[in-house]
Structure 1
Amino acid sequence: MERAIQIKAISSEPRLKVLRLLTEPQKHFRHQQSADPVEFGVCMTLIAEALGVAQPTASRHLDILKQAGFITAQKHLKWSYCKRDEAAINDFLKWLGNEIAPF
């Protein structure tokens, strides 16, 4: 994974908010009816609502998070659902910790 894309992904408050919200999807998106938010992911429409932005704006943020490897997305019928990729996030955090650790 290209680290510059990952750094770009976390350089935005809306994208950080998405990652925080997806940490506890059952808590933040329990009203999702179409699929279990923990097992299947959270509908992009609900993420846009949580951010208070239009769907195209949310899609751009989510696309950057996908490029960074921090989330995965899957389609079901006409909707797309997003989940955190904990392994990729942990890998990035480990790398970042090593990069900024004192010598």
Structure 2
Amino acid sequence: MNRSMQIKAMASELRMTILRLLKAPKTHFSHQWSADPEAFGVCMTLIAEALGIAQPTVSRHLDILKQAGFITVQKHQKWSYCMRDEQAIQDYLDWLKHEIARD
């Protein structure tokens, strides 16, 4: 995994907020009607609405999170759905903890 991309992804408060929202998709996106937000992911449009930002802006942030491996994106019809990759996030946190504690 590209650690520099992961560090870049975590260096943005907006991207951290996206990851926090995606941690509890049923809580934050229960109004999503097109697919179960927990099982299928959250539509990019709803993420943009939740953050109060334009869709192209959220798309760029989501792309960085995807490149870092922290989210997966799957397309269905005309929508793209995002879901956290819990294992990738945990691997990053484990790596970071190890790096910070190193002599």
Same fold (TM over 0.5): yes
Please tell me whether residue 62 in structure 1 is matched to residue 58 in structure 2.
Answer: no
Query: CA RMSD of the aligned region, Å?
Result: 0.7
Secondary structure at 1:74's aligned position in 2? strand
Q: CA deviation at 1:61?
A: 0.2
Q: CA deviation at 1:102?
A: 5.3
In structure 1, runs of 5+ residues without a counterpart are: none
Task: Tell me what 2:35 maps to.
Answer: 35
CA distance in 1, matches of 2:97, 2:56: 33
Please tell me whether residue 94 in structure 1 is matched to residue 94 in structure 2.
Answer: yes
Question: Could you tell me which amino acid in structure 2 is paired with residue 72 of structure 1?
Answer: T
CA distance in 2, matches of 1:59, 1:33: 20
Secondary structure at 1:35's aligned position in 2? coil
Aligned length: 103
In structure 2, runs of 5+ residues without a counterpart are: none
Moved over 3 A (4+): none
